[in-house]
Amino acid sequence: MKRKKTIRNIVIAAVVVVVIVAAVVLGLSLRKDGRGMNAFERSRVAATANGASITMLDYAMTFDTLAQNYSSSSLTDEQVKSLQENAATQALMMKIYTKEAKALGLTLTDEDIKACKTAAQQQIDGIVETYTQQLVNDGTYSKAALDKQVANYYAMLGMSQSKYYDYCLERIEANYYMDKLEEYYKTEGSDLTEEDVLAYYHETVDSVKENYMVGQYSTSMMMYQYGYSMPLLFVPDGFFYIDFIQITKQSEAEINDVFQQVLNGDMTFEELMESEENQNPYRSIVDGPYAIGENDHSYLFVNDDTFEAAKALEIGKIGTYVVPMKSTQDGEETVTGYNGYLFRRAEGTMCEEGETGTIKIDYYPGVRESAENGLRQKRWMSDAVYTDAMYAYRGSF
């Protein structure tokens, strides 16, 4: 009898322990993170496409990163919805790149894996370094204070440090798989037809044409020069083309002496173009002449007079224009030197038909690859499903 009672007590105690553990686990699961989501909500599916899915945590991490570029009052509800779908697409593509690459038998090398792990660890280390520096600057550094700050950071994300490491590693590896996919299509041949690629390219360019604003061409070319983005992929109506050489001297006479060599036939335009005298900073960004238009030439010239001097030329003709460089000190303006331009009006060959319109897909490096990647993404996302939970999460908006 005593033995049965003892066994019963042990069983009761075990049940109590299980109930307590379950309650603790449930309590932890229901604990809200910095976004107001608990573990169950974080694990819910946010969106699916092409056999891949993302959780609300995957989605929220991406959405919050994109949302940092906007203020809470700068977007309409429709714009927020677009941002939500863009975030979901980005998160899904990280999954899809890996899925598609593996389906083609592409794998990461040992060196790739090592590099990915190193980069993921650097993300972890960066968090510690950031909070360490903050505490040092505040004069409140201690190991306990640092541990608390780091723990609070992960609690806000709804992750442990190890899960955050896995999250970073997965995305870093996805970028490696993306590169391997692009290389595969270059070497093995595209999985897309030329007709489909060109149709998608025209569709993309036409959507930009519809929203074109004066000055946009110049802005895109300046950004392209510094490596920030692709240029505008069409030449607006009314634009014309020039080649030009730019030199800087202390006097106008020195500039004219150089230009006169071309005008007299002692040197060709091309020879001076390739010489060290030429300081045209844009020559390297295109092969051939530049397209410029009324109120849309600031990527080449600082004033309208320079533009008008180029516009006055007939195709094939050469002309010059000299601009004084000025500085103002103590309210007094002085000439510090001269910029000289040697223009040659040219015919444009960058567009598919005529002088203006859509630019040939292979004119700028990387455009074809970008169009192919865009078309693949469009196809991969064709069956995308966005959940109500995804649309309900608005971050700071």
Mean pLDDT on 297-321: 90
pLDDT of residue 31: 77
pLDDT of residue 313: 93
Give the whole-angstrom CA distance, residue 53 versus residue 285.
Answer: 40
Per-residue pLDDT of 25-55, as tens digits, reads 334 455 798 999 999 999 999 999 999 999 9
Give the whole-angstrom CA distance, residue 335 versus residue 337.
Answer: 6
Give the type of residue at 123: Q
Question: Hey, what CATH topology would domain 234-358 get?
Answer: Chitinase A; domain 3 (3.10.50)
DSSP states along 305-316 = HHHHHHHTSPTT
Distance of alpha carbon 258 from its chain centroid, rounded? Answer: 42
Give the type of residue at 287: D
- pTM equals 0.78
Burial 335-344, CB ≥16 within 10 A → b, else e = eebbbbbbbb
Per-residue pLDDT of 267-292, as tens digits, reads 999 999 989 999 887 776 666 789 99
Residue written as token pair 């449930």: 26
What are the structure tokens assigned to 284, written together? Answer: 């390297």
Backbone Cα Rg of the chain: 31
Counts of helices then strands in the chain (DSSP H, E): 14, 9
What are the structure tokens assigned to 277, written together? Answer: 């005298």
Instruction: Extract long-range pairs of 308-315: CB within 8 Å, 24+ residues apart.
Output: 309/341, 309/343, 310/242, 310/244, 310/341, 310/343, 310/345, 311/240, 313/242, 313/343, 313/344, 313/345, 314/345, 315/345, 315/346, 315/347
- The yes-or-no verdict on residue 146 having pLDDT over 60 is yes
> What is the location of CATH 3.10.50.40 in the chain?
234-358
